[in-house]
């Protein structure tokens, strides 16, 4: 089953979605090759009266958890991590939270 790297920006991060979607994510996707298969960005749309702790979330899909760890373990990843951290200052006021999930099922 696919593994997904989730990146979540808390409410108040004020993510510049235009920059994030059109500049940051395509570049990050290219740097996560050959393992990252796809990515998508979602914006919170809580129901009236409900609160959502996250403003924006990104889901980067990999074939396996091992592919995620292989990406992070590669010698070439250090400058990638540095670029990600520096570039994040261009589109968000706060750093995101991140975690990995494994898909266990999917429907139509």
pLDDT band at 9 (very low <50, low <70, confident <90, very high): very high
Question: Tens digit of pLDDT for each residue in 35-52?
Answer: 999 999 999 998 898 888
Q: Which domains, from first to last, does the chain contain?
A: 3-102 (3.30.70.100)
Which of 19-23, 77-81, 95-99 shows the lowest mean pLDDT across its residues? 77-81
Three-state DSSP class for 17?
Answer: helix
d(Cα 94, Cα 22) in Å, to the nearest integer? 19
- Residue 55 reports pLDDT greater than 90: yes
Specify the pLDDT at position 29. 94
Residues 6 or more apart whose Cβ sits within 8 Å of residue 83: 27, 31
d(Cα 1, Cα 100) in Å, to the nearest integer? 13
pLDDT band at 10 (very low <50, low <70, confident <90, very high): very high
Specify the pLDDT at position 11. 94
Q: Say what the pTM is.
A: 0.90
């Amino acid at each position: 089953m696919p593994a997904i790297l989730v990146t979540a920006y808390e409410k108040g991060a004020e993510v510049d979605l235009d920059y994030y979607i059109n500049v940051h994510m395509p570049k990050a996707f290219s740097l996560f090759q050959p393992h990252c298969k796809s990515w998508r960005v979602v914006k919170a749309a809580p129901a009236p009266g409900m609160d959502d702790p996250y403003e924006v979330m990104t889901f980067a899909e990999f074939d396996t958890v091992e592919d995620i760890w292989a990406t992070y373990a590669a010698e070439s990843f250090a400058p990638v991590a540095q670029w990600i951290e520096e570039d994040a200052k261009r589109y968000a006021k706060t750093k995101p939270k991140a975690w990995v999930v494994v898909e266990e099922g999917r429907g139509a």
